[in-house]
Amino acid sequence: MAVIEKLERKFGKYAISNLMYYIIILYAVGWVLQVFAAGFYETYLCLDPTRILRGQVWRLVTFVIYPPSTNVFYFLIGLYLYYSIGKTLEYQWGTFRFNLYFFTGVLLHILAAFICCYVFKANLGVMFGTYYLNFSLFFAYAATYPDATFLLFFIIPIKAKWLGIVNGVYFGITILAGFFTNLFPFSVLVGLAQAGIIAHPAYSVMALVSLGNFLLFFFGMKNMRRYSPKEIHRRKRYASSVRQGQRTVNTHKCAICGRTEKDGDYLEFRFCSKCKGNKEYCQDHLFSHEHVK
């Protein structure tokens, strides 16, 4: 996507490397608050548009600390899962594009909160949390690595693409149920509620946020070369062994994003044989750049 490439050339150096590490720390802080200071998040930190317009602008940022779960067991699983997914996507897409994906999801959450509050008259700030934001990461992972295997209930192996399809259908029903409530009989609405689907336009907007963020960026990066999670681990281990064995005095610089070897120990650089002149690229752009003729 040309727009993303232009943004990356201009702002790529400001991207936060290993972003999910810091997000996980925020989730941990949120979990402590939820467990030991119940009500603090809802009172002072959640995404409440009415209070934001009264001057509590910090809520635009602090809502992100809401943990995946308050149950300690599922919370730890969630931390491991989303950290692994985030790191894999960052390695696949590059630091800047992963930052852009995540923070666009945050901005869409904020937009959806205001739409729900002032268009559909439903202030769902307390319920927003990071549920849909995390699912947008999972959808991106399932589409990028459809054959990756998860253990459902720690026993049943299931591929990521099937989990993505099931959750996509669930979100699709949530969207339709909210926007076309009058078309469903009461018995169907009761059944949907028992399945955790509330037929209200505000919830449809939230589901669209998750799918919208995924569709917007994934199709802009679908042609990038993919590495399997095992290959990513192998490449990281190889890069680490090379760094330990020798240190080069030359400074490498990517012709696209301008990053050098000093911007991260994980970075690797290669020259492109198809480009005119000595053009060097980092591992994020070696296979995705346009060749210089």
The better pLDDT of the pair 214, 100 is held by 100
Kindly state the helix (H) or strand (E) to which residue 92 belongs, with its residue range: helix 72-93
Residue 30: how many CB atoms within 10 A of its CB? 24
Cα–Cα distance measured from residue 291 to residue 293, given in angstroms and rounded to the nearest whole number: 6
pLDDT tier for residue 8 given thresholds of 50, 70 and 90: confident
Query: Between the CA atoms of 104, 26, 37 and 68, what dihedral angle is there, to the nearest 10 degrees?
Result: 70
Q: What are the pLDDT digits (tens) for 10-68?
A: 888 888 989 999 999 999 999 999 999 988 998 999 999 999 999 999 999 999 999 98
- pLDDT at position 220 is 63
| Percent of the chain residues past pLDDT 70, beyond the cut | 86
Please name each of the domains of the chain with its CATH number. 2-226 (1.20.1540), 231-282 (no CATH)
DSSP, residue by residue, 150-174: EEETTTEEEEHHHHHHHHHHHHHHH
Q: What are the pLDDT digits (tens) for 159-181?
A: 888 888 988 888 888 888 888 87
This prediction has a pTM of 0.71
Residue 292, burial from CB neighbour count under 10 angstroms (0-12, 13-18, 19+): exposed
- pLDDT at position 36 is 92
- pLDDT at position 233 is 53
Q: What are the pLDDT digits (tens) for 214-261?
A: 877 776 665 544 444 455 455 556 555 655 554 444 578 888 887 787
Does residue 203 register a pLDDT over 60?
Answer: yes
Residue with tokens 């319920």: 127
